[in-house]
Amino acid sequence: MKSFGIEAAWVNGPWSFQGEYLNNFVSGDQTNSVGGFYVYSSYFLTGESRQHDRRKGIFGRLKPE
């Protein structure tokens, strides 16, 4: 089985966009492909921003004002 995936995230002030695509190729009598994706967007009306650690590649907790 082989897998392929890609993800991206972007944060600018209260705006946040995030998405991911993943595909698995399964070999047997014939080669089949199974894939999926998601897209996520958010906007904070009160002006907060999602905290992102680029080195670890994770989002932190939201700190309300």
Supply the pLDDT for residue 16: 93
Q: What is the mean pLDDT of residues 4-12?
A: 93
CB 33 within 8 A of CB 22: no
Q: What is the pLDDT of residues 13-34, one digit of tens each?
A: 999 999 999 999 988 777 788 9
Q: Which domain holds residue 31?
A: 2-47
> Quick one: which of 19, 21, 49, 50 has its CA closest to 34?
21
Count other C-beta atoms under 10 Å from residue 48's C-beta: 13
For residue 10, is it within any domain?
yes
pLDDT number for residue 56:
87
The whole-angstrom separation of Cα 11 and Cα 59 is: 10
Total structural domains in the chain? 1
Confirm whether 64 is domain-assigned. Answer: no
Q: What pTM, to 2 d.p., does this model score?
A: 0.71
